[in-house]
Amino acid sequence: MNKRHITSAVSQLFGKFANKEFPHWFQKIVNYSYVKLMGLDMSEFHDPGTYKSLNALFTRKLKEPRKFSLDAEDFIAPCDSLITECGRLIEDYALQIKGMRYKTDNLLGKNFTQAEKDYVHNGEFVNFYLSPKDYHRYHIPMNLQVLKAVHIPGKFYPVNIPSLKKRLNLFIENERVVLLCKTQEGKYFYIILVSALNVGVMKVSFEPRIQTNADAEEEQVYLFENLYLDKGEDFGCFEMGSTIVILAQEDMLELLVKENDKVKFGDTIAKYNSK
């Protein structure tokens, strides 16, 4: 068995601490300290002292559902995040951050056919960075069908702005879960969950067999029949902040956001072209 990367060991160690349920008095200190240190806005959530572990605080759910547009043409943000980059793919090249590009064919891994990878060539991409203070759950951006999920083991390098600027192919090196999705009109796009340092787990609620930051060394493929998810549906969470990348078929999305925009889950970030 190959020796696991140090970033994986660090993330696992932090995960054990975050999952530990300390005595209530001490857990309150941990939780309130984290909220103050990171500057969390808890106005939409329960009191920090009510969460039984730091991880329960990380993966907190909204007290009340957020409202968002039900118009089929409105493509919504899947998470609370910073748009670190977005725009048009040049063939299969996307920007990790300004001045640093990578090949999306490599990001998608070896378990998608070239035809499946070609779906998004010359299309649109959006990179969503979730900081440690953000709401860590992710949601479905439009009504869709999930065709395939691929878990790609990898490293756990930080994905914050300084790291994006200094490490080429960061998204490709890190562990990720890639979802191939299809719209009702037959257009294709990908939702890619990218790990980061201290992100011990990326949860995918509709496929509990996906176990990230585990002992898997080979890509794992999951195929689905008749798996339809609705816009706004909660489909999992990061345990700590990380990144989501969306890659869309050419002429599918007209982006309404730009680099450095701060968005919240439910905001309309693009117009969907159904034709």
How many other C-beta atoms can be found within 10 angstroms of the C-beta atom of residue 46?
A: 14
The residues carrying an active-site annotation are: 80, 139, 242
Quick check: helix, strand or coil at residue 253? strand
Query: Of the candidates 56, 61, 46, which has an alpha carbon nearest to the alpha carbon of residue 21?
Result: 56
Residues 230, 236, 240, 241, CA torsion sign: negative
DSSP letters, 15-49, are: HHHHH----HHHHHHHHHHHHHHHT---TTS--GG
Instruction: State the Cα–Cα distance between residues 123 and 118, nearest whole angstrom.
Output: 10
Instruction: State the Cα–Cα distance between residues 191 and 81, nearest whole angstrom.
Output: 15
